[in-house]
Structure formats: structure tokens, C-alpha cells
Structure 1
Amino acid sequence: MQKAEYAQVTEQSALRGRALITQYQCGSCHAIPGVANARGVTAVSLAGFSRRSYIAGRIPNQPDALALWIIDPHAQISASTMPTLAVSPEQARDMAAYLWTLK
């Protein structure tokens, strides 16, 4: 598995993350505040994501864990319905940075 060490959230990384979330069409399944056309209803809304205790109800919600989840959700929870998106560790960190702005 690829490693995704989390760096401090910066405005630039969060902006890149929002663009990547749009590019990878995460809003097809999730409703995501601040992301155009992200009104999906087949997965949970990501509103207030940074205040959640767990990712997918099982993984402690920490930035490093979130980046790893984005890279390969099935390595974390084999029965997950979230697709593997083939994002790089850097892209996953930026996507996680954006989700951590959602208070």
C-alpha cells in the first residue's frame, strides 16, 4: 500500500483537493458542500466531515487515516462500496485537506 503522510492543511492544498474531488466525481455519490454539482445521495453527505469521529463508521477520523482511505478504501474495510479511485498519495492528502475544512 502507498504511504500518505499528512502535512498541515493549507489553503492551497484544500483548493487543490476541492478540484480533485470535482475531477474524480466524488459528488456522484456524496453531497459535498462547496463542490459544484456534488449532490449524490447513494453515500453519506460529507457536510461537517471534520467533526466526525469515524471514517465509514469504523476508522478513527484522523488526516493520515483519511488519506489512506481515499487511496484504497478496500485495504481498510474490504466490504466497502467506495471505489478505489487510483489517486496518488499527494492527491489523497489534498482531498483530505479539503474534507478537513468542512466544519
Structure 2
Amino acid sequence: MLGREERMRVRACLAAALLAPVVALAGCREGGVTPRPAVSGGDAERGRRMVAAYGCGGCHAVPDVPGAVGRVGPSLHALAARSYLAGTIRNDPETLVRWIQDPQALRPGTAMPDLNVGPRDARDIAAFLYTDHAGGLGPPHLLPKRWLGAH
């Protein structure tokens, strides 16, 4: 049987062993952790209203948009923190604007319909999806959000 001091040393070693991979990965970023830049020329508040006006919430759950609880498409919570759109399209501000305007041009056959979103509306929607209100930005965290219990 281990004494109190030996148990404390074992616990300290165990804690160090569990923390070592986290420290080793401190310079790494996982999709969903690195904040994205803002969308230049976009009006996030207007974008929130455009999400409602275009009916995006019929297919997507969208934070801070009343009634946007759709489950056909993926949730748009923390969209800006994702590395990819539609699984394979690099997620950056300009690509997101293009995706909102014409998803079929970027991924033919995608289930996302072309809603005839104009350039200004697409830029504003993207600006909104890249804000804290949409769960998009915020400080990066050393651990991936899924490990922290955030959804």
C-alpha cells in the first residue's frame, strides 16, 4: 500500500502525463478553434435580419435568429470557426460570401439551394455568421471546444 506522499507523487506524475500532449499541441490549431477575420464591407446586424428574411432558419439552426431551428442542413453555430464549408470547401470570408450567393457553383449537386442572394446580402450574412452573436468568433482556446463540452 502506498503512503500519502507516494500517492501524491503518483497523482502528480499522472497529471503531468495527461497534460504533456496538451502542452505539446499548444501551437496547433484544430478546425473550430481558430477565429476567422471579419468580412470586410459586411454589416453583421443587417446580416442577422437577412438570415431571417431569406428563411435560412428553415434548414439551419442559427444562434440569435428567432425561429431559426431547422435541422435539414447543419447548424450554423460557430461556422466561422470551422475549417471547411460543405466538408471540402475552404472556409474564409470571400468563399463564404460566394457560397451564400451560389452554392451550386462551388459544389454542384449540394443540397443547399440557390436562393438568389445578392452580393450585399451575402456579404452581410457572412459578416453575421462570423460574429460572436452567431457563435462564430471568440478567443481561441488551447483545447478543442468538443473537449470543453461546448456545442
TM-score, scaled relative to structure 2: 0.61
Which contiguous aligned blocks of 4+ residues in structure 1 show a shift greater than 6 angstroms? none
Gaps of at least 5 residues in structure 2 are 1-38, 137-151
- Give 1:8 shift: 5.2
Which one scores higher on RCO, CA 8 angstroms, separation ≥ 6? 1
| Post-superposition CA distance 1:12-64 (Å, at most 9, x none) | x0000000000000000000000010000111001111110001111111000
Structure label with greater radius of gyration: 2
Specify the code of the residue in structure 2 equivalent to 1:34. Answer: D
Asked if residue 48 in structure 1 is aligned to residue 81 in structure 2, the reply is: no
2:40 to 1, 4, 7: 7
Cα deviations across residues 52-103 of structure 1 (Å, max 9, x unaligned)?
0001111111000000000000000001010101111111000000001133
Return the letter of the residue paired with 2:60: H
In 1: Cα distance, 2:49 partner to 2:72 partner: 21
Q: Quote the residue 2:116 is aligned against.
A: 86
Separation of aligned partners in 2, 1:8 and 1:57: 26
Q: Which runs of 5+ in 1 are unaligned?
A: 1-5
Give the whole-Å Cα distance in 1 for the aligned partners of 2:121 and 2:41: 14
d(CA) in 2 for partners of 1:29 and 1:42? 5
| Residue of structure 1 equivalent to 2:57 | 27
Q: What's the % identity of the aligned pairs?
A: 44
RMSD over aligned CA atoms reads 1.1
1:66 correspondence with 2:96: yes
User: What's the TM-score once normalised by structure 1's chain length?
Assistant: 0.88
Whole-Å separation in 2 of the counterparts to 1:96 and 1:56: 15
